[in-house]
Structures are given as structure tokens and as C-alpha cells.
A and B are shown apart, each in its own frame.
Chain A
Amino acid sequence: MIYKRVTLFAGHYGSGKTNIAVNYALMLKKREDDVAIADLDIVNPYFRTKDSMDVIEKAGIRLISSDYAGSNVDIPALPSEAYSLVQNKRLHAVIDVGGDDRGATALGRYVPYLLDENNYEMLFVINRFRPLTADAESTVRIMKEIESACKMRFTSLVHNSNLGAETTAEDIFSSVSYAENVSRLSGLPVKMTAAREDIAGELTGRIENIFPIRLHIYGFMN
């Protein structure tokens, strides 16, 4: 898979950005020495990249995250080390941008650096099973809201239609036309289609560029 120095994942909240970002960072770590993942999600203090800290740390990936949920402050803030993402050119960075336009606002301060270096990909994660992105039109509307909030353009799509742990291969296959519609309407190519690793095999050959993922962020037990 072709990748840039910085990969940003953004989308409607609940689209599965965080799981994709964690899996993407793990994939990068197999190819690059110095990999960091940053959790810029200041919108959702509950289930975040930070929750998969063990997996990330064991793999030797640096985690940059705000301490909001675990601290006594009621105002989320980003750590200053987040600037290393854009300033340390030897680092391969994955940035998990917060949900929707509100989450993407936090990205704004890093945008001039990213545009200046011009070695990034910005991926829009889409999920047809989320009610507010159930069709191509509403999905592209949210895409534009995010773009105008963070003042950056997406470069491609990650198709991640899923129903959490209940997702079947058929659910993903039946969503391919949705992803194609989003692609046509937005003018962005589909970089990859994510599938839980246990069902990814069923889709190989039926869908191009399957990205097998392991779920590190869940809802709650059973």
C-alpha cells in the first residue's frame, strides 16, 4: 500500500475512524521505524484511541493524546507534543481527527504545516449503517462540513460500512454501491475497504483493496 508521511483519518463520528487509525498505525509500524498515532478527538471523551493504549504501546508506536477524560479538567486540550507530528519529518504519523466538523476544528492549527510539507493523505471514513450518512448525498454533506471546519481537503475515501461486531461480509458487499456513489459525488477514489479480519477473507477477490482490521475499540461487553 502506498502511504505518505502523515495520514489523517476523519469522518462522521461513529464512522469507525479510531479503529481504522489504530490498525493503519500497526500496519505502518511493520514498514517504518518511527511511527506515532495522535488522538485529536476532543469531542468524544469516552471511547478513543487512548483506550487501545496497550496494543499501541506493545507495538512500539508513540501515542499522543489529550488527558481530558482521565483528568480533573472539564475542558479538553491538546498536548504541545502534538506539534512533533508536523515538525519531525522522520516520523510517520497517523492522526485520528475528532468526529464531524466540531472534532475537525482542532486540526486547524496544524494545517499550514501539513500543506507546506505536502506529504500527507487525508482519508474520509464512511459507514452506510450510520443513520446520518446512510446515503451518498448526506455523506458528502458531512464531508464538506469537515473540510470547511479544518480548512483541508480530503484526498480519498475509506469505505468502512459496518454494524460493529455484528457485521457480515454481505453487509459490506451490499454497501459497495454506496461507496461508489460517494466516490462519484465527491470525486475522491476509494483507497481501501475495511473489513474485520475474520470476514475479510470472504471479500478478497470480490472487492478491491480490502484492509483487514482487528477491533480494538468496542462498545461495551456483550
Chain B
Amino acid sequence: MSEKVLMKGNEAIAEAAIMAGCRHYFGYPITPQTEIAAYMSKRMPQIDGVFLQAESEIAAINMVIGVSSTGKHVMTSSSSPGISLKSEGLSYLAGCDLPAFVVNVQRGGPGLGGIQPSQSDYWQATRASGHGDFRRIVLAPDSVQEMVSLTFKGFDLADKYRMTTLLLADGTIGQMMEPVSLDMGEVTKYEKPWAVTGTKGIRKPNIVNSLFLQPEVLEKYNIERYERYKTVEENEVMYEEYMMDDAEFCIVAFGIAARVAKNAIKQAREKGIKAGMIRPITLWPFPKAALAKAAEKVRAFISVELSMGQMIDDVELSIRCKKPVILCSRVGGMIPTPENVLAALDEAGKIGG
């Protein structure tokens, strides 16, 4: 399909997942991502797929574990409070080394919070959903087109590294409509000798398991897993640099915040302020090297977020606190304005001399 179509961010995720070969969707409705489930409920029956509204988010993530064990592409989606419920299952997916694709279209928190956009699940996404030592790949789209391309890529990365890929979007990108191309190319097929597909009497049974009572064995699996994570960090970092060539101030922003920051940078440049941006597309692995390199030449960093300041930790870690880092943020469903970012640039100009 080369012609563009007009899609909502949430629908774009659903259609791209289908194109990536996903025929199993399990979920439970929650604003602002319900269109994913609504779209799947219409499309899956047309293509012989499974759409199932589970009795809860916990049930849905456990259904994901089941289907993934058989080697098939599978996904679930939710918004912030629902992802908290899925945390246990996310840890089990990691402990079993199962590929899965999970979407969080973030809304304001904590608790039930609100239904307007937020990025306050950054820590949850990159560090803290689920117990134990594990990582997941976290992708952050900033347009409906990237909802398509990163969903497609997310399934591939999950299979390639036997990991969960989390697509971390927000309510705005989930709800907004933009023209998109659905031309994604071929799906790469990976061998899955570990999958539970029936022995047919010719091989030993495969067992998908995360329980290892012998500490030596559990340690070995953890270390092996982290070696795999290291190859992800070496090979899969994605980011966009915007007007960084001569930048004196480096804005770091992802998702909808990056769209706002781009507008602010254009306005700042008109006023003669040399601002640029590094937009992380993978939040894990975080583009540490790109930021460290920028730290050698810029005067200060500005972390633009829809949270009280979460990604700012990774910015400071990446640059080893070599330069000042200013937080520019709105929370609770509010979105920073270009004016907020320009004010932060003014502040940076005063302290970053």
C-alpha cells in the first residue's frame, strides 16, 4: 500500500502490529488507548486472528505469556494504571525470555490520575515495572508515522532478542490523526527452537519457566541475559539529532514533548539562540554516547518532559553531570508550551556560561 491513509495514533499501532504478523491481541479497555482494542476487535475477525477482551489487565498479560510461549507474535496494550497491573507478568516474560510487544499510552498519574497525556511512566518503563534484574526495550514515537514504524520494528526486536518491547506513547500521540504510509516491507522470521509447539514424538519437550531454585543456575541465567542486553545496548540505540551542529543548548525530549521542543527551537533560532535537540527514540537503551558527545560542546542541557522530572536522571547519568541540566516540565495532563521551553532556554543562558 503506497497511498497514504489518515489514522489515529492508536489505530496505527494496531494496524502496524497486524502487518508485523500479530494475530493475537489481549487487552482490557482504558482511556486513552481504547481505540487499539476497538480496532483489533474489528480487524482480527477479518484476518482469522484472535481479539480477546480479558477480564482484567493481569489476565491479558498472562495470555500474552501463553501465546508467546508457542512462538507466535502477540501483544497487549493499556494505559498507565493498567501497566502497573501488568507488572508481574512483565517480570515473568523476562524471566522466561519470551518476546512480547506491549503498549503504554500514558495518562496522568499517580493512582487513577487523569485521562490526558503524560510521560510520567518513564521510570516504570525503563526501570521499575516488575521485580528482578531485567531490561526491556522501550521505544518512544513522536508521530503517528512512528507509531507505525516503531510498532513494526518493536515486534522484530522482541523476536531478535527474546525480550519485551514496550512502546511508550502518550495520550496525545495516541489520539491525534495524521496521514501515514503503511509501507513497511517484509517481516523477518526468526527460528524459535525454544517454542512450545508439540514434540510430535521426535524431540524433547520444551519448557517455558522462570523458577530456578538452585542459585548457581539462576545466577547463570541472569548473567547470560545481561550479555544479551549488552548487545542490544551496542546495536539498537536510536535517536534523532535536530539542529545540533552548532547548538549551544541541547534540549532532550521524546514523544510529544519533542514536537513542542522543535517548535520552540525554531522560535529560539529566530531570536539568535542556538538551540538543538537530541530526541531519544529508544529510551532503553538510552542514547548515552550521543549525549556524552554533546556535553563536550554545549553549555547546558534542558530536559523537556511531561513528568516531574524522570528522564532527567538518564540525561545526567549520560553526561556524568558535566554540564547543568534544567528541567522544563508540565504534569497532570498538561503539555509544556513552546513558551515554557523558551523560558527554560533563557534560564540556561544565565547559568550555563
- A residues near B (Cβ < 8 Å) are 13-14, 44-47, 69, 74, 100, 102, 127, 129-132, 134, 162-164, 166, 219-222
Given pairs A102-B38, A132-B43, A163-B6, 18 additional interface contacts (CB within 8 A): A13-B8, A13-B35, A14-B6, A47-B175, A74-B112, A74-B115, A129-B6, A129-B179, A130-B5, A130-B6, A131-B11, A132-B39, A162-B6, A163-B179, A166-B179, A220-B173, A222-B259, A222-B263
A192→B24 CA distance, assembly (Å): 41
Question: For residue A134, which residues in chain B have a CB less than 8 angstroms away from its CB?
Answer: 5
| A3 CB, nearest partner CB in chain B, Å | 27
Question: For residue B259, which residues in chain A have a CB less than 8 angstroms away from its CB?
Answer: 220-222
A162→B178 CA distance, assembly (Å): 11
A156→B144 CA distance, assembly (Å): 32
Contact A219-B31, Cβ < 8 Å, known A45-B115, A74-B115, A131-B7: no
Question: For residue A221, which residues in chain B have a CB less than 8 angstroms away from its CB?
Answer: 259-260, 263
Cross-chain contact of A131 among B15, B31, B38, B175 (Cβ < 8 A): B15
The 0/1 profile, CB within 8 Å of A marked 1, for residues 244-281 of chain B is 00000000000010011011000000000000000000
Q: Which single residue of chain A is at the shortest CB-CB distance from B30?
A: A74
| CB-contacts of B118-132 with A (<8 A) | none
Number of interface residues of B (CB under 8 A): 32
Cross-chain contact of B116 among A13, A69, A102, A127 (Cβ < 8 A): A69
Question: For residue A100, which residues in chain B have a CB less than 8 angstroms away from its CB?
Answer: 38
Q: Is B96 an interface residue (CB 8 A)?
A: no
Q: Is B177 an interface residue (CB 8 A)?
A: yes
User: Is the contact region of chain A dominated by helix, strand, or loop, or is it mixed?
Assistant: loop
Question: For residue A220, which residues in chain B have a CB less than 8 angstroms away from its CB?
Answer: 172-173, 176, 256, 259
Q: Which single residue of chain B is at the shortest CB-CB distance from A174?
A: B3
A131→B172 CA distance, assembly (Å): 20
| CB-contacts of B272-292 with A (<8 A) | none
| A145 CB, nearest partner CB in chain B, Å | 10
A162→B179 CA distance, assembly (Å): 9
Q: Is B32 an interface residue (CB 8 A)?
A: yes
| CB-contacts of B1-46 with A (<8 A) | 4-8, 11, 15, 31-32, 35, 38-39, 42-43
A13→B260 CA distance, assembly (Å): 26
Question: For residue A46, which residues in chain B have a CB less than 8 angstroms away from its CB?
Answer: 32, 171-172, 175
A-B contact pairs, 15 of them (CB 8 A): A14-B6, A14-B7, A14-B8, A47-B176, A74-B112, A129-B5, A129-B6, A130-B7, A131-B5, A132-B39, A162-B6, A163-B5, A164-B179, A221-B259, A221-B260
Question: For residue B15, which residues in chain A have a CB less than 8 angstroms away from its CB?
Answer: 131
Whether the Cβ atoms of B4 and A219 lie closer than 8 Å is: no
A222→B173 CA distance, assembly (Å): 12
Question: For residue A163, which residues in chain B have a CB less than 8 angstroms away from its CB?
Answer: 4-6, 179
Whether the Cβ atoms of A14 and B31 lie closer than 8 Å is: no
Whether the Cβ atoms of A219 and B116 lie closer than 8 Å is: no
Question: For residue B115, which residues in chain A have a CB less than 8 angstroms away from its CB?
Answer: 45, 69, 74
Question: For residue B5, which residues in chain A have a CB less than 8 angstroms away from its CB?
Answer: 129-131, 134, 163
| A20 CB, nearest partner CB in chain B, Å | 15
Question: For residue B144, which residues in chain A have a CB less than 8 angstroms away from its CB?
Answer: 219
| A46 CB, nearest partner CB in chain B, Å | 4
Question: For residue A14, which residues in chain B have a CB less than 8 angstroms away from its CB?
Answer: 6-8, 11, 177
Question: For residue A45, which residues in chain B have a CB less than 8 angstroms away from its CB?
Answer: 31-32, 115
| B97 CB, nearest partner CB in chain A, Å | 35
Cross-chain contact of B6 among A47, A69, A102, A127 (Cβ < 8 A): A127
Whether the Cβ atoms of B176 and A219 lie closer than 8 Å is: yes
A131→B4 CA distance, assembly (Å): 10
Contact A164-B172, Cβ < 8 Å, known A45-B32, A221-B259, A222-B262: no
A143→B35 CA distance, assembly (Å): 19
Question: For residue B175, which residues in chain A have a CB less than 8 angstroms away from its CB?
Answer: 44, 46-47
| B228 CB, nearest partner CB in chain A, Å | 36
